[in-house]
Structures are given as structure tokens and as C-alpha cells.
Structure 1
Amino acid sequence: MNRIFGSSASKKPKPSLQDAISSTDTRVASIEVKIKKLDGELGRYKEQMSKLRNGPGKNAIQERALRTLKQRRMYESQLAQLVQQTFNMESAALATENLRNTMATVDAMKLANKEMRKQYGKIDIDKIESVQYDMEDLLEQANEIQETLGRSYAVPDEIDEADLEAELDALQLEEEEEGASYLADLNKVPDFLDEPPVELADVSLSKYALLLSGLNDGSQTPAKEAVKTSA
């Protein structure tokens, strides 16, 4: 029986909305080409009638022009209907696509909700709180250990300020005494010298000026006298 009448599975699938839109667009393009062709014919008829006088020839061309004009109006009516159909189908396709996207969003949200419930079902709040308490205890123990390790040894908790000031004064006095003894050693005359050092402070500046002037003049006599005088 299937060989004679054919099976239901051999039927062609029903055209989708997009297929219908594509088919309608093809028809619209075909009708637009026909209308453009008729416009060209009407232009030629109009040019011919403008060159002819009233008579049988002009009337025949006028009848052809009327038939062409009638045909063009018919195509224009069909074109308007097809354009409206295309608009309606595109609106329906857009609404269908929006609905499909909405359903996909809803399905995704349902799946996410199910997955979240599954994951949250594995979480034990009591265990989380227990871990939190353990962390607090460990941190507190760590702080106590740090405080213990940072404790100072052999240093009294309270230090008398008066004792510190007295110790500071003693150190300053000791430094002053060491400085005075050092200066006294510097001013002491060495033991290997038999005569006291000559004090240059007794030589007047005028005698040295005279000595320098004698050297500049090239004479050594004033210089010798100045030296003797200074001696």
C-alpha cells in the first residue's frame, strides 16, 4: 500500500515563515521588473502620439497605451498586496523570534535555578560556622604567640627618671674631665728641650715689615739689622 499511495513520511515539509517571506520577495522583484517594462512602453506610446495627428493611427496607439496602463495598474495592485503580506510575515517572524528567545531565557533560568539548588544543598551552614570559629581561635593563638616572642627580658617595667638624669650628668662630667686633662698634656713642655721656646708674639709687626721691604729693595743690610734687633 505504501508503494501505491506513498507513506506519510514522504510528504514535503511545510514551508516555514522565512521560506514564505523569501518566496514573496521573489514575486515582488518580478512584478517590479514588469512594471518598469510597462513604464517604458507607455513612454514610447506617449512619444508616438505626440508626433501623430488625430486619426486612426493615433487612436490605435492610444488603445495600446490604455491596455498597457491598465496592465500596469493591475501589477501595482498586486505589488502593494505582496508588500503588505511581506510586512505582516516579517512582523510575525519577529514576534516568533522574540518568543523563542524568551522561552530560551526562561529555560536557562530554570536550569540555573536547579543547579544552584543542587549546589547549595551540598553546603552545610553549621560546618561553615565551625570552620569560622576555628579560624578565630587559631588567629587568637597566633597573636598570643607573637606577643610572647616579642616580650623583652632583664628590663624593669618601670624606670626611674631621676636615676637616668643622674647617670646622664655623671657621663657629661666625665667627658669634661677627660677633655681638660687632654688640653693640659698638649700645653706641657717636652722633657727633651733644654731652653724654653721663643715667644714669637714679642716680635712687632713693624720689624717684619722692615725686613720685607729690605728684601724687596735688594739690600741685605736692613734685613740683617732687623734680624739683630729682633734678636
Structure 2
Amino acid sequence: MKKIFGAKKEKEPPPSIQDASNRLNTRGENVDEKIKKLDAELTRYREQIKKTRPGPAQEAVKARAMRVLKQKRMYEEQRDMLYNQTFNLDQVSFAAEGLKDAQQTMSSLKSANKELKGMMKTVNIQDIDNMQDEMMDLMDVSTEIQESLGRSYSVPDDIDEEELMGELDALEADMGMETESDGVPSYLQPDNELDVESELKLPSAPSGHGRHNAQGEDEHGLPAVPQASIRG
């Protein structure tokens, strides 16, 4: 049957937006190249017109320049049309890419939503609250254990504030005395009064009452008065 009627040809898939845009861009580049060549030719004719005197020769150059200018205008119109088509394709391409991104975003959100629902089924808020309560209880027990292990053994607990202040005052007084004694050199600290007197070599005071020394002085260091003169 296929040999008689022939096989049905498969249709080629339509060109994509990117393919059509690339083709238009290629055509636009070719048109731009042609316009550049025509511009160079017009520049040459312009120089010839300046150098040629008015007359038939100059008119012939102007006619050739006019034909080139008409071709340039035609190519410029084609280039503008190609640019407009490329712009329209770019807008369609942007819209299509935006829709694809939206589809992928929706698909990702649906997948994430399904995964979250499955995870929520395995998590119970009551279990979390119970675990938090147990953790708080364990922390309290741990604190009590640490306080018990850090307790001192031989420290009396019946010391009042007055006793504490008295002990501190006594310590302060002892520290003051030690500071004063430390500040005086040993050679300036006498051991007793006898050492001071021996060092100063002072005469000792008379011990007897009413007795006179060899120099005729009484116990106060004054000249003694004879007993006879006193009686008389």
C-alpha cells in the first residue's frame, strides 16, 4: 500500500523562537554590511562631485550616486523591519521564559509542600513540649548535683554579721601593726628601757630619801643645807 499511495511525510517541527530570532539577526547583519558598502561608495561619489566641474560629467556622477542612495534607503527599510521582527520575537521569548520559570516555581512549591506535609506528620508538637519539660527538669537536677558537690565540709554556718565585722576589724588592726613595725628599722626598735638608758649613758637618780651625795647636793640636785643651820 505504501508503494502505491506513498508514505505520509512527517511534518518538520516548527522553528523555535530562538531559531527564528537567530535567523533574523543574521539577515540584519548582512543588510548592515551592504549599507556600509553603499556608504563607502556614496562617500567616493561625493568627493568626485566636489572635484568635477558642473556639466555632463558631474551630472553622470550625481546620477550614479542617486541610484546608490536609493539602494541604501531600501536596505535601511529592510533593516528596520528586521529589527522590529527581532524585537517582537524577543518579547515573545521573554514571555515564554517567564511562563517556564513560573511553571518550574509552581512545581517546586508543590513538591516542597508535599514534602513538608509528610514531615509534619512525623512531628508532634506535644512530644516537643514534653521533651522541653524533661530537659528543664534534667537541668534543675544537674544544678542541684553541682551545688551539692561544691558544698564545703568544715565551714560553720552559725556566724552572724556582728561576729564577721569584729573579725574583720581585728584583722585590719593586726595588719596595721605589722605595717608600722615593718616600717621601722631594727636598730631603731629598742628591746627595753635599760638598753635605752645604757645607750644614752645618763646618770641614775638617787634612790635614798634625805641622803646627800659627795658633792653636797640633795636628792633634787640642789645644794644641801647643813643640818645645824636648820636647827639654829
TM-score, normalized by the shorter chain, greater than 0.5? yes
Which letter does structure 1 place at the counterpart of 2:142?
Answer: A
Decide which structure has greater helix share.
Answer: 1
Which letter does structure 2 place at the counterpart of 1:95?
Answer: A
What secondary structure is seen at the aligned counterpart in 1 of 2:44?
helix
Structure 2 CA distance for partners of 1:147 and 1:29, relative to 1, 3 Å: closer
Which letter does structure 2 place at the counterpart of 1:91?
Answer: Q
Structure 2 CA distance for partners of 1:134 and 1:40, relative to 1, 3 Å: closer
Identity among equivalent positions (%) equals 40
* TM-score of the pair, normalised by structure 2: 0.59
Residues in 2 aligned to 1:153 and 1:14: alpha-carbon distance in whole angstroms: 94
Partner of residue 136, structure 1: 136
Partner of residue 54, structure 1: 55
RMSD, matched Cα: 3.8
Residues in 2 aligned to 1:48 and 1:156: alpha-carbon distance in whole angstroms: 123
Residues in 2 aligned to 1:82 and 1:128: alpha-carbon distance in whole angstroms: 66
Which letter does structure 2 place at the counterpart of 1:120?
Answer: M
Per-residue Cα deviation, 1:26-48 (whole angstroms, up to 9, x for no partner): 11111111112222333333344
Partner of residue 93, structure 1: 93
Partner of residue 225, structure 1: none
Name which of structure 1's ranges 120-129 and 156-165 shifts more when overlaid on structure 2. 156-165
Q: After superposition, where does 1:1-231 map in structure 2 within 5 Å?
A: 1=2, 4-5=6-7, 7-8=9-10, 11-50=11-50, 51-55=52-56, 57-151=57-151, 157-159=157-159, 201-202=200-201
Structure 2 CA distance for partners of 1:122 and 1:62, relative to 1, 3 Å: same
| Structure 1 residue 98: Cα displacement | 2.4
Aligned length: 176
Per-residue Cα deviation, 1:122-181 (whole angstroms, up to 9, x for no partner): 112222222223223323333343444455557664346788869x99xx9xxxxxxxxx
4+ residue runs over 6 A deviation: 160-166
Residues in 1 aligned to 2:88 and 2:161: alpha-carbon distance in whole angstroms: 100
Which letter does structure 1 place at the counterpart of 2:55?
Answer: N
Where in structure 2 are there 5+ consecutive unaligned residues?
175-190, 193-197, 203-232
